[in-house]
């Protein structure tokens, strides 16, 4: 699935199953909540925290997909073409960081 197809699929789902988009502010808040849930699983899986019973069975990929879903909703609501935005962002980083990381002693 391309990013464009994902944006179209989410838009179709929202308009047919979800009835309508939540407001942009609500979705921004939901995005923050979803990132927090992802962070919780990351901290327990790769960090020093131990799992609580309520965390067991949580799927890392599903948590990432929740973040992506809400981000796509926000992109759709604000008329942002994520394919174009990502391409521009990669170009920006490539120019800006052309020598930055290769010369970083911490990464060697």
**Cα–Cα distance measured from residue 43 to residue 63, given in angstroms and rounded to the nearest whole number:** 13
Q: Give pLDDT tens digits for 27-36.
A: 999 999 999 9
* Angle, in degrees to the nearest 10, between helices 60-78 and 3-16: 80
C-alpha angle 90-95-98 in degrees, rounded to nearest 5: 105
| Residue 68 tokens, joined | 């992506």
Q: Give pLDDT tens digits for 97-107.
A: 988 888 898 98
* Angle, in degrees to the nearest 10, between helices 3-16 and 82-96: 140
Which pLDDT value is given to residue 55? 80
Which pLDDT value is given to residue 59? 92
**Cα–Cα distance measured from residue 52 to residue 29, given in angstroms and rounded to the nearest whole number:** 24
pTM: 0.89
Which pLDDT value is given to residue 53? 84
Which pLDDT value is given to residue 80? 98
**Cα–Cα distance measured from residue 42 to residue 56, given in angstroms and rounded to the nearest whole number:** 12
Question: Which residues, given as ranges, of the chain have pLDDT below 70?
Answer: none
Which pLDDT value is given to residue 57? 84
Q: Which domains does the chain have, with CATH numbers?
A: 3-81 (1.10.287.1080)
């Amino acid at each position: 699935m391309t990013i464009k197809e994902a944006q179209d699929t989410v838009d179709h789902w929202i308009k047919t199953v979800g009835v309508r988009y939540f407001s942009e502010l609500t979705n921004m808040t939901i995005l923050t909540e979803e990132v927090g849930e992802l962070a919780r699983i990351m901290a327990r899986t790769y960090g020093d925290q131990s799992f609580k019973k309520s965390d067991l069975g949580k799927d890392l990929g599903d948590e990432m997909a929740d973040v992506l879903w809400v981000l796509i909703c926000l992109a759709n609501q604000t008329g942002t073409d994520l394919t174009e935005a990502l391409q521009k962002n990669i170009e920006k980083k490539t120019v800006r960081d052309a020598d930055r990381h290769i010369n970083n002693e911490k990464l060697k």
